[in-house]
Amino acid sequence: MIDPTSRYATLEIASHTTPQGRELRYLRRRFLPQARDMQVVAQATVGAGERLDLLAARVLGDPLQYWQLCDANDAMRPNDLVARPGRMVRVPLPRPPG
């Protein structure tokens, strides 16, 4: 079961049947949104030693929503967002998963 607030929550579940007749189920690919197309409501400064989940809890109210910060900042490697204290991070308007 996928959590309803997960970035994968709205993805379609697909299946593939192997030549041996076994059905394999998987999630369809999630395409990353373009940060330039997202509505930003604030910017946050990364604190010394701050982890991405703690930043998400501070600015979005939920540590599991760190993926929204990643999307809003075109972060392909999530920990890069918090690697440099003092960095300004775009905080998006919270949106539904998908």
pLDDT in tens, 25-61: 999 998 888 889 889 999 999 999 999 999 999 999 9
CA 49/CA 62 separation, integer angstroms? 19
By the 8 A CB rule, do 86 and 45 touch? yes
| Angle at alpha carbon of residue 77, lines to 80 and 49, rounded to 5° | 30
Residue 68: the pLDDT is 94
Q: What is the pTM of this model?
A: 0.79
The pair of structure tokens assigned to 57 is: 């809890």
The contacts of residue 10 (CB under 8 Å, 6+ apart) are: 96, 97, 98
Q: Where are the domains of the chain?
A: 13-92
